[in-house]
Structure 1
Amino acid sequence: MGLGALYIGATGLKTHGSGMQNIGNNLANVNTLGFKNTDIHFSTLISQTMTTASNPLTTGFSQAGQGVGVGAVLTDFRNGGFMAGSATTDLAISGKGFFRVEQDGVIRYTRAGNFRFDKNGFLVDPNGFRVQGKAVTDGVAGSTGDIRLPLDENGEITVPPVATTDVMMGMNVGTMIDATTSTGNPFFALFEAWNGATADGQPLGAGTYGYENTIRVYDSQGNAQDLTVYLDKASVSNAGGKSYYEFVVGTAPQADGRAGIAGTSAAGRIMTGTLTFSSTGELEGVSAFTYSGSGDPSDLANWTPAALSESGAPSFSMTFAGTPPGTADIGLSFGLTGSGWTSAVASAADIGHDKTLLPTMAGATAGSFATTGRAGSSVTVYQTQDGNPMGWLMNLGVDAAGTMIGYFTNGVKQELAQIPLYTFVNEWGLRREGSNHFSATGASGEGVEGVAGTVNYGTIAQSTLEGSNVDMAEEFTKMIITERGFQANSKVITTQDQILQVLYQLKK
């Protein structure tokens, strides 16, 4: 008699003790990165059916409860609060998903994104597990594996030099006089005046041209080279309202590494040509000539129409002095591009005074920053080039989609890796493994890889950490309720014990 009450009270003590243990664990991890609060749910134990005078057809079965037990301990996967991290590789997930980490074939999942690169360039968590992701090469992501910085043989992270292939110059060629003239070749007076063998290294003296503009380009070795465009007015009779300007593209004579040209008076001279403007100052024609590679480089007969680059700009091939020499194939656009030359003269020497023989571009198209020939000052409005020297990694960034981007000293921005997220059909089936890790089970299913920011996946924030989602106020409330429940069940046992003592006294 009364032993059932003792048993029931014991189940209450045990279950509420487990509840207090759960509360204590939540509070112990109130400052644990990525920790997910757990809720304990109680459930009744099987009841005992009793024989009574009640009619079960009208009142139902008569059952006596047998106590309480732990029904489930479920994880609350809601986001914790965000806090500032101390490194770019401190990552937080806003929304659904887990990072995947791996060590010696053991796969774990985590929300704690306090990652760092180790001495071998692997991105790891504090437990030495390597973060999983995809290396990106030339903008293409590879297969999933350890995320590692691309260290070279010197243990450095670099991007190779890229030779310049396209140069764009948008200028206004303003009012100027014809500073240098030629009796036989008015469109190539600057060409004839060029002297790359002067003692001062200046191939065109001051006052021999109306305007100059210099841009820095890069050869195949990553060496910086200066290209200068010299412009001068070309006096043409019967111009019909149009205006003509000759130009020479050159570099410092001592930087010229072309065989047969270096050290001569032609050193540094790379391209020559003309710009033709309409009466309203719009660029409507460009001609360009480059050295054919044979014969006297000072003879216009050996300068033929320039090839056009893939973008439709006049281009030239150049070898710059150095050990080893640097090369570059550069298309130079003044804002007008085309698909070919409509008038194909054999060489620049064939033009003479006849402006109608100047090559013009087929299908010419003017760009947004096309050079103009309006009255006023000469000025460079816009210029750009696409080359760069070798660069060293300066900084890292991770965007909301998990793309790790390297910022290099040469201004290059390059994708290095893609950090995916993983979701589960039943994330409540994950097993806690300690060290802020979870592992997949048969109940959770395998992790499904996806890109952060897409459907069903959260976004990633750099230099940010996710804190615990434990609500201290709520836990203290639960603590009071649990403590009272424990006390009440202990009272059941002590009261039943007193009843048993009375029975024992009756026996005596």
Structure 2
Amino acid sequence: MLNMFNTALTALNANSTAIDVTGHNLANLNTSGYKAGTVSFEELVTQDLSVDSSDINGNGIGAPVLSRQFTNGTVQVTGGLLDAAISGNGFFTVQGSDGNTYYTRAGNFKLDDSGNLVTATGENVQGWMATNGVASPGGVPTNISIPPGSANAPVPSTFFGMNMNLNALGTVDGTNGTFTAPVEVVDSLGTKHTLTATFTKTDTNAWKYDISIDGGDVDGGTAGTPSSLATGTLTFDTNGKLTAPAADAGSVEISLPAFANGAGEQTVNWQLYDSAGASQVTQYGEASAVNSNSGDGSTAAQLTQVVMGDGGKVMAKYSNGTQKLVAVVALASIQNPDSLVAVGNNNYSTTPASGPVSYGEAGTGTRGGITANALESSNVDMARELTNIIIYQRSYQANARVITAGDEISQEILSLKR
């Protein structure tokens, strides 16, 4: 009789735990990166060795075994500038305020007042910082930090290009035989200067070029008086293709003198051919015009925005319109994720059963990809959880009836003495 009460009591406790887990899952239905908990039941059996081994007395149910389902949730685009969603295996690596390392699938990141990339609950997101726009993922990651208001140093120009046409119908010293085009370059202090490219037709299929700068821009020059920097001749074939300078030369080297603002001398190359070896300057029977300009160099700029890019690349955008890689978010690969222990704030901690943890960039090894401006939804299946809670409730009620029946039987036995 006593065993009846104990057996039913173990079932009440087990089902109560299962209802708690299901309720917790439903409560986190909209929690980003949340992984649903599951309950496994195990029978308790007590064998009396004094009787036949086939006579095994059941002793109810053991404490439920709790585990997590690390299946992928749906990736939903949020538009959040620093949101990131993992598609596939892997965990974001974060450092808690206690200094311990934790793992999470929740990618709703933000910048704190010190410029640290943190989770919604304040843990530091880890990865690899870039140097001059280049990151080298590998080894143990560190906290990602972007100091607010940091400036981007100027980058002096090293080349420029003009995709242009010179009018084949132009005449020497006559109609359409002269054309000028401005070109911008940046000095070592981040100041822009305008070069003037002047083209003059000198013969059939031949043009002279003169690259100059206003004298007021250079040290020792006179404002309003052009200072010539480079001269030469462009020669075309009968199909309007550039033949000289030849493709193997590739470019014209232009030496810029020291500038009046204190910037030093520098050299820029006028690229006449693109990376495929095709001429950027043609001579067709159309009006002389520049179709597009290319080149490098940028002025000094202030940080205006930090955004997450696909693959976990953290990009800094600056006031001059440029952007630069500042960090790469690390993904942790864990051999046995089912052994992770939830520690709150959507974070998990490893256990001895988790195996070694390796770190790498998204898309490497068995790691999944990272989608920018999106979050991974909870993998809780509401229909399944509601079904489970009905099943657990019915089981709880049934075992409560067992205790009620046992109590009634006990009362009947006691009444036999009267």
TM surpasses 0.5 = yes
Residue of structure 1 aligned with 2:116, choices 102, 115, 122: 122
Structure-2 change in CA distance of 1:266 and 1:77 (3 Å): same
Whether 1:210 and 2:178 are equivalent positions in the alignment is yes
Q: Secondary structure at the match of 1:314?
A: strand
Q: Greater strand share, 1 or 2?
A: 2
Whether 1:414 and 2:324 are equivalent positions in the alignment is yes
Structure-2 change in CA distance of 1:254 and 1:125 (3 Å): same
Written as runs of structure 1 = structure 2, the 5 A alignment for 1:49-448 is: 49=48, 61-85=54-78, 87-102=80-95, 103-138=97-132, 139-141=134-136, 144-149=141-146, 151=147, 155-174=148-167, 175-179=169-173, 210-235=178-203, 243-257=205-219, 259=220, 262-263=221-222, 267-286=226-245, 312-319=250-257, 321-325=259-263, 327-335=265-273, 367-448=277-358
Q: 1:467: which partner in 2? A: 377
Consecutive unaligned residues of structure 1, counting only runs of 5 or more, are 181-206, 236-241, 288-309, 337-364
Aligned-pair Cα RMSD in Å: 2.8
- TM norm structure 2: 0.89
Q: How big is each residue's C-alpha offset from its partner over 1:311-351, in whole Å with a ceiling of 9 and x where there is no partner?
A: 74221221354432354311123339xxxxxxxxxxxxxxx
Name the aligned partner's letter for residue 177 of structure 1.
Answer: T
Q: Distance in 1 between matches of 2:176 and 2:347?
A: 75
Q: CA deviation at 1:439?
A: 0.7
Structure-2 change in CA distance of 1:44 and 1:229 (3 Å): same
Q: Distance in 1 between matches of 2:120 and 2:200?
A: 66
Q: Distance in 2 between matches of 1:463 and 1:213?
A: 42
The answer on whether the counterparts of 2:216 and 2:260 sit within 8 Å (CA) in structure 1 is no
Q: Secondary structure at the match of 1:410?
A: coil
Q: How big is each residue's C-alpha offset from its partner over 1:402-439, in whole Å with a ceiling of 9 and x where there is no partner?
A: 11222333343321111011121111111111121111
Structure-2 change in CA distance of 1:246 and 1:148 (3 Å): same
Name the aligned partner's letter for residue 281 of structure 2.
Answer: T
Say which is worse superposed, 133-142 or 422-431, in terms of deviation. Answer: 133-142
Q: Distance in 2 between matches of 1:135 and 1:330?
A: 31
Q: CA deviation at 1:447?
A: 2.5
- TM norm structure 1: 0.74
Q: Distance in 2 between matches of 1:372 and 1:86?
A: 44
Structure-2 change in CA distance of 1:442 and 1:50 (3 Å): closer
The answer on whether the counterparts of 2:84 and 2:372 sit within 8 Å (CA) in structure 1 is yes
Name the aligned partner's letter for residue 83 of structure 2.
Answer: D
Say which is worse superposed, 320-329 or 430-439, in terms of deviation. Answer: 320-329
Q: Distance in 2 between matches of 1:122 and 1:95?
A: 26
Q: Distance in 1 between matches of 2:18 and 2:223?
A: 93
Q: Distance in 1 between matches of 2:314 and 2:196?
A: 38
Q: Secondary structure at the match of 2:405?
A: helix
Structure-2 change in CA distance of 1:126 and 1:285 (3 Å): closer
Q: Distance in 1 between matches of 2:322 and 2:267?
A: 20
The answer on whether the counterparts of 1:209 and 1:230 sit within 8 Å (CA) in structure 2 is no
Q: How big is each residue's C-alpha offset from its partner over 1:125-178, in whole Å with a ceiling of 9 and x where there is no partner?
A: 2332111110011323266211011x3xxx523322121111223432222233
Q: 1:33: which partner in 2? A: 32
Q: CA deviation at 1:400?
A: 3.2
Name the aligned partner's letter for residue 244 of structure 1.
Answer: A
Q: CA deviation at 1:382?
A: 4.2
Say which is worse superposed, 79-88 or 439-448, in terms of deviation. Answer: 79-88
Structure-2 change in CA distance of 1:66 and 1:334 (3 Å): closer
Larger-Rg structure: 1
Q: CA deviation at 1:266?
A: 6.7
Q: 1:486: which partner in 2? A: 396
Say which is worse superposed, 219-228 or 372-381, in terms of deviation. Answer: 372-381
Q: CA deviation at 1:10?
A: 1.4
Q: How big is each residue's C-alpha offset from its partner over 1:370-423, in whole Å with a ceiling of 9 and x where there is no partner?
A: 423344432224432222212333444433321122233334332111101112
Structure-2 change in CA distance of 1:311 and 1:419 (3 Å): farther
Equivalent residues, number: 413
Say which is worse superposed, 399-408 or 211-220, in terms of deviation. Answer: 399-408
Q: Secondary structure at the match of 1:34?
A: coil
Q: Secondary structure at the match of 1:25?
A: helix
Q: Distance in 1 between matches of 2:387 and 2:143?
A: 44
The answer on whether the counterparts of 1:88 and 1:396 sit within 8 Å (CA) in structure 2 is yes
